[in-house]
A and B are shown apart, each in its own frame.
Chain A
Amino acid sequence: MNERIKKLREKTLKAEPSITAERALLLTDFYKKNASATLSWPMKRALAFRHVLEHKTLFIDEGELIVGERGTGPKSTPTFPELNIHSLLDLDILDSRPKISFKVDRETRKSYEQEIIPFWQGQTIREKIFAEMDAEWKDAYNAGVFTEFMEQRAPGHTVLDDKIYKKGFMDFQADIRKTIGSLDFRTDPEAFQKKEELEAMSVAADALVRYAERHAEKARELAAREKDPQRKAEFERIAEVCSFVPKNAPRNFWEALQYYWFVHLGVITELNTWDSFNPGRLDQHLYPFYKKGLEDGTLTEEKARELLQAFWIKFNNQPAPPKVGVTAEESGTYTDFCLINVGGVKKDGSDAVNDLSFLILDVIEEMRLLQPSSMVQISKKTPDRFLRRALRIVKTGFGQPSIFNTDAIIQEMIRQGKSLEDARLGGASGCVEAGIFGKENYNLTGYFNLPKVLEITLHNGVDPKTGKRIGLETGDPAGFASYEELFAAFRRQVNHFIDIKIKGNSIIERIYAEYMPTPFLSLLIDDCIVRGKDYHNGGARYNTSYIQGVGVGTMTDALTAIKYNVYDQKTLTMPELLDALESDFAGREALRQRLINKTPKYGNDDDYADEVMVSIFELYHDAVNGRPNAKGGTYRINLLPTTVHVYFGKVTGALPDGRKAAEPLSEGVSPVQGSDRHGPTAVIKSVAKMDHLRTGGTLLNQKFTPQLLSTEEGMGKLAHLVRSYFKLDGHHIQFNVVTAETLRKAQKDPGKYRDLIVRVAGYSDYFVDLGPELQEEIIRRTEHASF
Chain B
Amino acid sequence: MPEGLIFDLKKYAINDGPGIRTTVFFKGCPLRCRWCHNPEGQSFAPEIMIRPSRCLSDCSECVAACPEGAIVKTAGVPVLDRPRCNACGKCADVCPAQAIERVGRRLSAAQLLREIEKDRIFQEESGGGVTFSGGEPLSQPDFLSEILEQCRKKEIHTTVDTCGFAPADVLERIAEKTDLILFDLKAIDEKKHIAFTGKSNRLILENLKRLAAKGKKVVVRIPIVPGVNDDEENILGTAEFLRSLGTISEISLLPYHKLGRDKYRGLEKKADDDDFTPPSAERLERIKKDLEDCGFRVSLGE
Contact = CB atoms under 8 A, between A and B. Distances in A.
Interface of A: 589-594, 597-598, 605, 678-682, 684-685, 707-708, 711, 713-714, 716-717, 720-721, 723-724, 727-728, 784, 786-787
B12 A679 contact: yes
Interface residues of B, number: 26
Given A717-B19, A787-B15, A685 B59 contact: no
Contact of B19 (A590, A682, A684, A720): A720
A717 B14 contact: yes
A232 B175 CA distance: 76
B97 A708 contact: no
9 shortest interchain CB distances as A-B pairs: A720-B126, A593-B96, A594-B96, A679-B12, A593-B97, A724-B125, A590-B59, A681-B11, A717-B14
Contacts of B119: 681, 685
A716 B121 CA distance: 16
A716 B122 CA distance: 12
A320 to B, nearest CB: 37
B166 interface: no
Given A590-B56, A720-B20, A714 B125 contact: no
Contacts of A597: 96-98
B13 A723 contact: no
A716 B15 CA distance: 12
Contact of B61 (A590, A685, A720, A721): A590
7 contacts: A589-B58, A679-B10, A685-B118, A713-B299, A717-B19, A724-B126, A784-B12
A713 B15 CA distance: 9
Most buried by B among A684, A714, A720: A720
B268 interface: no
B49 to A, nearest CB: 15
B11 A593 contact: no
Contacts of A714: 14
Given A589-B58, A590-B96, A593-B97, A787 B13 contact: yes
Most buried by A among B13, B23, B98, B121: B121
Nearest to B118: A605
Interface string B128-150: 10000000000000000000000
A748 B10 CA distance: 34
B232 interface: no
A727 B121 contact: yes
Contacts of B19: 717, 720
Contacts of A723: 125
Given A717-B19, A787-B15, A591 B121 contact: no
A291 to B, nearest CB: 34
B302 interface: yes
Contacts of A707: 302
A418 to B, nearest CB: 29
A598 B96 contact: yes
Nearest to B54: A593
Contacts of B121: 685, 724, 727-728
Contacts of A682: 11, 118
Most buried by A among B13, B15, B96, B119: B96
A787 B126 CA distance: 18
B125 A787 contact: no
Contact of B122 (A678, A681, A786): A681
B96 A591 contact: yes
Contact of A678 (B11, B56, B61, B299): B11
Contact of A681 (B12, B96, B98): B12
B14 A713 contact: yes
A592 B56 CA distance: 11
Contacts of A713: 14, 299
Contacts of B20: 681, 717, 720-721, 724
A720 B302 contact: no
B12 A680 contact: yes
A544 to B, nearest CB: 31
Contacts of A590: 56, 58-59, 61, 96-97
A714 B20 CA distance: 10
A597 B125 CA distance: 32
A288 B97 CA distance: 61
Contacts of B302: 707, 786
A721 B12 contact: yes
A728 to B, nearest CB: 6
Contacts of B15: 786-787
Nearest to B99: A593
Contacts of B59: 589-590
A605 B61 CA distance: 29
Nearest to B9: A678
Most buried by A among B13, B14, B98, B118: B14
A678 B23 CA distance: 12
Given A679-B12, A708-B14, A724-B20, 12 more contacts: A589-B56, A685-B118, A685-B119, A713-B299, A720-B19, A720-B125, A723-B125, A724-B121, A724-B125, A724-B126, A786-B15, A787-B14
A591 B126 CA distance: 42
Nearest to A718: B14
Nearest to A707: B302
A720 B10 CA distance: 17
A129 B22 CA distance: 55
A714 B14 CA distance: 7
Contact of B10 (A594, A605, A685, A787): A787
